[in-house]
Amino acid sequence: MANQTANYTEDSIRSLDWKEHIRLRPGMYIGKLGDGSAQDDGIYVLVKEVVDNSIDEHMMGFGKTIDIKVSEHKVEVRDYGRGIPLGKVIDCVSKINTGGKYDSGAFQKSVGLNGVGTKAVNALSTYFRVQSYRDGKAKMAEFERGELKKDEAEKTTSGRNGTQIVFRPDETVFKNYHFIPQYLDDLIWNYCFLNAGLTINFNGQKYHSEKGLHDLLSRKTDEDNLRYPIIHLRGEDIEVALSHTNQYGEEYYSFVNGQYTTQGGTHQAAFREALVKTVREFYKKDFDATDVRASVVGAIAVRVQEPVFESQTKTKLGSQNVAGDGPTMRTFVNDFLKKALDDYLHKHSDVAEALLKRIVQSERERKEIAGIKKLANDRAKKANLHNKKLRDCRIHLDDKKGDEDLKKASTLFITEGDSASGSITKSRNVQSQAVFSLRGKPLNCFGYTKKVVYENEEFNLLQHALNIEDGLEGLRYDKIVVATDADVDGMHIRLLLLTYFLQFFPDLVRRGHVYILETPLFRVRNKKETIYCYSDEERLAAIAKLGSKPEITRFKGLGEISPEEFKEFIGPDMRLEPIILRKDTSIKELLTFYMGKNTPSRQTFIIDRLKVEKDLVEEAV
């Protein structure tokens, strides 16, 4: 110990400037880095930090339009607000703790309060340009990784007032990154839903909403799946929309000052509590809270002064009060819902009747599986889960509280077969990666009720491994990765697992937790170099690069890949394909097509894809 501390001297103490600190510890400013396969990866946070400033201008009554362009590696945002004061353009994007958000008169109920956002974008970009248009004059500056490269003098302009920011994320920080259009699409729509009347032109397409959260739920749900029309309620600094569906689970979208709080917070907790309380009082019956909230889909947006978030990325609200001397969040939401929802149900007896039927149905289903549920839970405990089916990661072995930071860092691989699970288990990062081993193909649970989750041992144990029996609040892993062989049997297992998730835990998919592991289809090598290829195009490029006649291996199963090789495929550069539900996707129709009765259209679909697989194999040989 003495030898280790002997070198701790004055020279060990370093002072970093703002850009060095951001680049050294980017996670402090934008959360995880990632490659763009997850909706909360850093490249999307960069986009948000810039757009948030434009949204704040709109909220203050300046600018009804925002233009956004995103290409493969370039982002451009132009608003038509007041424009950054010309003398402070450089300071606002390159000096920490500098910005207009500290002036409560200039910005009320703003998203960004810490003066960090655009500085982080600047420091983490290989190219960053800011240009402000203000009262006939313009000021432009360019940066590289936070370093000022061009400071252009003010000049006259005919451009409309506002601010334009262009940047390219640094590929040395965000390795192999790519923007997924669906994630950007959701991001842009959320801005519009929360700012009714705002128009965003994104890559040539117009985004606009007039009904706010009502439009959000209409977009997020299948209308045929709703038990009654969406209830839409608006008040001062609060907006709520809700309905019930025929699906399992609870689904919430919560926002604070236009910020999508993906992990909820005090406002979402207050909403869930107030909904139960209001419903009980309206029907004058002490319903179980789980029956009231079962199958609910809801959205809440609040505006608060100086919100307190639990991280710089603002994914969870921690504020206990709406304002410094205002009511608690719990009281504010409860008082609003108690009056607004109660009034709505009194005026719309058909909705009140449909809501009651849904609650009674949930109550009946809960009681039907109560006995089975208890037996299943006992079986799960006796199965010695951590030693047999689940090889857990170390950060969870002693985790009893479902710590959010631990969950964000953890991944669960679901695989089938001893060889595949053995390869992943030997290759994984034991600190943060866990493995769940299936025994054979799972049951096709399409059309079953949730009773089957407790009756089927595989489903029951998987549910307990994820800790999602009572909702996603206790979810133990941020990423749930289906890792199966790249053959017909592997594809079938994927479908069966996705059917299980979509049928009983659709929120896991909607919230972006479910992925497919991409492993190389081919290994092309000669005596000097080995190239792993994930597509036929990559295989052809590798053959051309290596020349002569390289050895080509077609991987048919995960067990064929040695543990040493596998480390590369589930390490920092792991390729994941997110499971994304498009806005026009009906879960019921999706499952009916893939997992229902065999139809000619599905037979054609399967045969066409088998032909593609056959061609790939023949070409590789």
Task: Give the tokens for residue 339.
Answer: 């009056």
The pLDDT, as a whole number, for residue 32 is 83
Residue 438 has pLDDT above 50, yes or no: yes
Radius of gyration of the chain (CA): 26
How far is residue 414's CA from residue 387's CA, in Å, rounded to a whole number?
15
pLDDT exceeds cutoff 60 at 615: no
User: Which residues form the domain of 484?
Assistant: 383-519+557-582
Q: Do 437 and 534 lie in a common domain?
A: no
CA atoms within 13 A on the CB side of 550: 24
Q: What is the CATH number of the domain that holds 254?
A: 3.30.230.10
- 8 Å CB contact between 89 and 132: yes
Long-range contacts of 218-226 (CB under 8 A, 24+ apart): 219/189, 219/193, 219/583, 220/251, 220/253, 220/297, 220/510, 220/583, 221/245, 221/297, 222/586, 222/587, 222/588, 224/586, 224/588, 225/586, 225/587, 225/588
- Mapping DSSP to helix (H, G, I), strand (E, B) and coil, where does residue 318 land? coil
Whether residue 204 sits in one domain with residue 218: no
Model pLDDT for residues 21-63, shown as the tens digit of each residue: 888 888 888 888 889 988 889 999 999 999 999 988 888 889 9
Residue that has been written with the tokens 């699409």 in this structure: 185
pLDDT score recorded for residue 399: 52
Boundary (domain end) residue, out of 173, 208, 243:
208
Binned at pLDDT 50, 70 and 90, residue 597 comes out as low
Pseudo-torsion of CA 37, 126, 184, 609, nearest 10°?
-40
588-595 mean pLDDT: 65
Is it the case that residue 98 has pLDDT exceeding 60? Answer: no
What is the reported pLDDT for 106? 38
Distance (Å, rounded) from C-alpha 17 to C-alpha 146? Answer: 10
Name 414's Cβ contacts closer than 8 Å, sequence gap at least 6: 436, 438, 462, 480, 481, 482, 483, 497
356 and 429 within one domain: no
Q: Please tell me the predicted confidence (pLDDT) of residue 618.
A: 46
What is the CATH classification number for the domain harbouring 57? 3.30.565.10
In this predicted model, what pLDDT tens digit does every residue of 306-331 receive, in sequence order? 777 776 566 777 767 776 667 888 99
| Same domain, yes or no: 349 and 443 | no
The CATH number assigned to the domain holding 402 equals 3.40.50.670
396 pLDDT exceeds 60? yes
pLDDT above 50 (res 104): no
pLDDT at 377 over 90: no
Question: What pLDDT was estimated at residue 585?
Answer: 61
Please give the distance of CA 166 from its chain centroid, rounded to a whole number: 24
Q: What is the average pLDDT across 367-391?
A: 75
Report pLDDT for 447. Answer: 83
Residues 331 and 419 in one domain: no
Residues forming a β-bridge with 255: 260, 301
Beta 411-416 vs 479-482: how paired, if at all?
A: parallel
Residue from 518, 439, 521, 526 nearest 484 by CA: 518
Q: How far apart are CA 482 and CA 613, in angstroms?
A: 20
DSSP-assigned letter for residue 474: G
What confidence score (pLDDT) does residue 114 get?
A: 41
- The mean predicted confidence, pLDDT, of the chain is 85
> Three-state secondary structure along 231-267?
EEEEECCEEEEEEEECCCCCEEEEEECCEECCCCEHH
pLDDT bucket at 111, cuts 50 / 70 / 90: low
Question: Are the beta carbons of 386 and 522 closer than 8 angstroms?
Answer: no
Supply the pLDDT for residue 613. Answer: 46
3-state secondary structure (DSSP) of residue 364: helix
pLDDT band at 557 (very low <50, low <70, confident <90, very high): confident
573 lies in some domain: yes
CA-to-CA distance for 578 and 178, rounded, in angstroms?
Answer: 13
Tally Cβ neighbours within 10 Å of residue 250: 17
Domain count, the chain: 4
**Span 255-307, pLDDT tens digits:** 988 888 888 888 999 999 999 999 999 999 999 999 999 999 999 999 888 77
Same domain, 513 and 450: yes
Q: Are 512 and 546 part of one and the same domain?
A: no
Question: Is 93 in a helix, a strand, or coil?
Answer: helix
Indicate whether 595 pLDDT > 80. no
Does 102 fall in a domain? yes
pLDDT digits (tens, 9 = 90+) for 463-479: 989 998 877 878 889 99
Which own/partner pairs from 147-152 qualify as long-range (CB within 8 Å, at least 24 positions apart)? Answer: 147/19, 148/90, 148/94, 151/90
Cβ-proximal residues to 349 (8 Å cutoff; 6+ apart), any chain: none
pLDDT digits (tens, 9 = 90+) for 539-548: 999 999 998 8
Q: Residue 144 belongs to what H/E stretch?
A: strand 137-144
Q: What pLDDT score was predicted for residue 621?
A: 41
Mean pLDDT on 232-253? 92
327 & 476 share domain: no
Residue 436's nearest CA partner among 424, 451, 426, 452 is 424
How far apart CA 127 and CA 131 sit, in angstroms, is 13
- Assess if residue 621 is contained within a domain: no
In a domain, 25, yes or no: yes
What is the C-alpha to C-alpha distance for residues 400 and 451, in angstroms, rounded to an integer?
27
Average pLDDT over residues 85-97: 88
pLDDT at 101 over 80: no
On whether residue 603 sits in a domain, the answer given is no
- Identify the band that residue 103 occupies on the pLDDT scale cut at 50, 70 and 90: very low
Residue that finishes a domain, picked among 208, 233, 263 = 208
Q: Do both 202 and 342 map to the same domain?
A: no
Distance CA 11, CA 239 (A): 55
Q: Residue 291 has what DSSP assignment?
A: H
Mean pLDDT check: name the lowest of 113-122, 131-140, 381-390.
381-390
- Give yes or no for a contact between 474 and 464, defined as CB atoms under 8 angstroms apart: no
Nearest to 178 by CA among 30, 41, 72, 77: 72
Going by C-beta distance under 8 Å and a sequence separation of 6 or more, which residues neighbour residue 215? 192, 193, 209
Please give the share of the chain, as a percent, with pLDDT higher than 90. Answer: 47
Return the sign of the alpha-carbon dihedral for residues 305, 311, 314, 320. Answer: negative
In a domain, 10, yes or no: no
| Nearest partner of 241 among 270, 279, 213, judged by Cα | 213
Residue tagged 């992990």 (tokens): 263
Instruction: Give me the amino acid identity at 190.
Output: N
Residues 36 and 168 in one domain: yes
Polymer length of the chain: 621
Domain boundary residue, one of 187, 208, 229: 208
In a domain, 233, yes or no: yes
Cβ(344)–Cβ(351) under 8 Å? yes
Res 354 pLDDT > 70: yes
Tokens in use for 429? 């990062």
Cα gap 240→552, rounded to integer Å: 58
Do 415 and 360 share a domain, yes or no? no
pLDDT tens per residue, range 508-534: 988 889 999 998 889 999 989 999 998
The rounded distance, in Å, linking the Cα atoms of 174 and 43 is: 7
Give a yes or no: residue 589 inside a domain: no
Residue 268 near residue 256 (C-beta atoms within 8 A): no
pLDDT > 80? residue 600: no
Q: Could you count the other beta carbons within 10 Å of the beta carbon of residue 345?
A: 19
- Decide if 424 contacts 413 (C-beta within 8 A): yes
Shared domain for 415 and 451, answered yes or no, is: yes
